């Protein structure tokens, strides 16, 4: 196979980066992102690929006989856990390595993956209720607490989506959501619904605690991606403390 021209190399690298960035956004481990980009570039004939990824940035340089070297970087700013998209991207990158899809084909496949919608808002609100109710019982709440916790879970979804329109700071959003949750649970108990505001809040707190970030950070640390692992770990811990503090804030009032 003849070497890639400069233009082709840049184009394929662009799509490899596009896939890597999308994976990172859905909550993939850094190792997976680096591995995917490397495999795609090598499949298209790069002689050597150097990828460096941390939570907020991807840098890739590919080397080849004809185009010498080519570097692209990405600044990755936000993050939204989406496991079905991650799965689809993973399948796409495997397929690219096996079949060497053309650039147009990759573009249209990526477009299709990116435009798959999430679950609609009412379903998500219902899920917040179900998760709160489940963990309220799980940590030993009563049935009455469970109902109140579910109702507050739905409220939290509304508050969260309202706040997300105004701010992109996850720490602030989590803190305000948590404070609202704590306030509502105290109000509910003093109005005579539910037995213990603690049990109610414990059900709600599980919604906001960054379980996925925590699990991923541990996996990152032990797959030698120390920087990302530590950054994600600290993020998760700070967020968890903010959430827990937010819920107890109402006790001051």
Partner 1 sequence: MRELLQLLTACIGALGFALLYNTRGINVLFAAVGGLLGWAAFLGAGVLWGPNDYIGGFAASVMLTVYAECMARIRKTPVTVFLVCGAIPLVPGAALYRAMKYLTAGNIQMFREQSAYALLFAASMSAGIMVTTIIFRLCWSFIAKDAKEKRRRI
Question: Can residue 53 be called a binding residue for partner 1 (CB under 8 A)?
Answer: no
Nearer to partner 1 (CB atom), residue 106 or residue 178: 178
Question: Can residue 139 be called a binding residue for partner 1 (CB under 8 A)?
Answer: yes
Smallest gap from Cβ 211 to partner 1, in A, equals 5
Label each residue of 152-168 as H, E or C.
HHHHHHHHHHHHHHHCC
Given 68, 103, 123, 171, the residue binding partner 1 (CB under 8 A)? 123
Question: Can residue 173 be called a binding residue for partner 1 (CB under 8 A)?
Answer: no
- Which residues 92-121 are close enough to bind partner 1 by CB under 8 A? 94, 118-119
Q: Which of 61, 48, 47 is nearest to 13 (CA)?
A: 61
Question: Can residue 122 be called a binding residue for partner 1 (CB under 8 A)?
Answer: no
Selected range binding partner 1 among 44-52, 59-67, 159-167, 242-250, rule: CB under 8 A: 242-250
Selected range binding partner 1 among 4-12, 42-50, 105-113, 199-207, rule: CB under 8 A: 199-207
Given 68, 130, 172, 238, the residue binding partner 1 (CB under 8 A)? 130
Question: Can residue 232 be called a binding residue for partner 1 (CB under 8 A)?
Answer: no
Give Cβ neighbours of residue 120 (< 8 Å, ≥ 6 apart): none
Size of the site for partner 1 (CB under 8 A): 54
Q: Taking the mean position of all CA atoms in its chain, how far away is CA 35? A: 19
Smallest gap from Cβ 130 to partner 1, in A, equals 5
Euclidean distance between CA atoms 18 and 110, whole angstroms = 9
Question: Can residue 226 be called a binding residue for partner 1 (CB under 8 A)?
Answer: no
Nearer to partner 1 (CB atom), residue 42 or residue 110: 42
Smallest gap from Cβ 131 to partner 1, in A, equals 4
Half-sphere exposure of 33 (CA within 13 A, CB side): 29
DSSP string, the chain: -PPPPHHHHHHHHHHHHHHHHHHHHHT--HHHHHHHHHHHHHHTT-SEEEEEEETTEEEEEEEETTTEEEEEEEE-------HHHHHHHHHHHHHHHHH---HHHHHHHHHHHHT-----HHHHHHHHHHHHHHHHHHTT--HHHHHHHHHHHHHHHHHHHHHHHH---HHHHHHHHHHHHHHHHHHHHHTT-SS-HHHHHHHHHHHHS-HHHHHHHHHHHHTT-HHHHHHHHHHHHHHHHHHHHHHHHGGG-
Tell me the per-residue interface mask from 12 to 31 with partner 1, x by CB under 8 A, - otherwise.
---------------xxx--
Given 11, 39, 74, 100, the residue binding partner 1 (CB under 8 A)? 39
Nearer to partner 1 (CB atom), residue 8 or residue 155: 155
- Interface residue list for partner 1 (CB under 8 A): 27-29, 32, 35-36, 39, 81-87, 90-91, 94, 118-119, 123-124, 127-128, 130-131, 134-135, 137-140, 198, 201-202, 205-206, 209, 211-212, 214-216, 218-219, 222, 240-241, 244-245, 247-249, 251-252
């Amino acid at each position: 196979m003849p070497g890639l021209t400069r233009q082709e190399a840049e184009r394929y690298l662009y799509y490899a980066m596009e896939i890597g960035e999308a994976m990172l956004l859905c909550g993939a481990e850094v190792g997976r992102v680096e591995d995917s980009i490397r495999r795609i570039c090598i499949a298209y004939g790069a002689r050597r690929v150097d990828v460096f990824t941390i939570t907020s940035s991807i840098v890739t340089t590919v080397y080849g006989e004809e185009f010498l070297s080519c570097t692209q970087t990405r600044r990755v700013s936000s993050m939204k856990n989406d496991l079905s998209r991650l799965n689809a991207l993973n399948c796409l990158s495997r397929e690219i390595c096996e079949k060497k899809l053309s650039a147009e084909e990759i573009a249209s496949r990526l477009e299709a993956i990116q435009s798959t919608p999430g679950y609609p808002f009412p379903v998500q609100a219902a899920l917040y209720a179900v998760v709160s109710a489940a963990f309220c019982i799980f940590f030993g709440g009563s049935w009455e607490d469970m109902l109140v916790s579910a109702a507050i879970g739905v409220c939290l979804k509304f508050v969260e989506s309202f706040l997300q329109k105004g701010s992109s700071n996850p720490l602030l959003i989590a803190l305000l959501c948590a404070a609202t949750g704590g306030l509502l649970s105290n109000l509910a108990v003093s109005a005579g619904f539910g037995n213990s505001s603690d049990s109610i809040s414990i059900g709600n707190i599980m919604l906001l605690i960054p379980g996925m970030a925590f699990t991923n950070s541990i996996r990152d640390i032990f797959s030698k991606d120390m920087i990302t692992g530590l950054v994600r770990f600290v993020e998760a811990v700070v967020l968890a403390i903010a959430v827990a503090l937010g819920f107890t804030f109402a006790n001051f009032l």
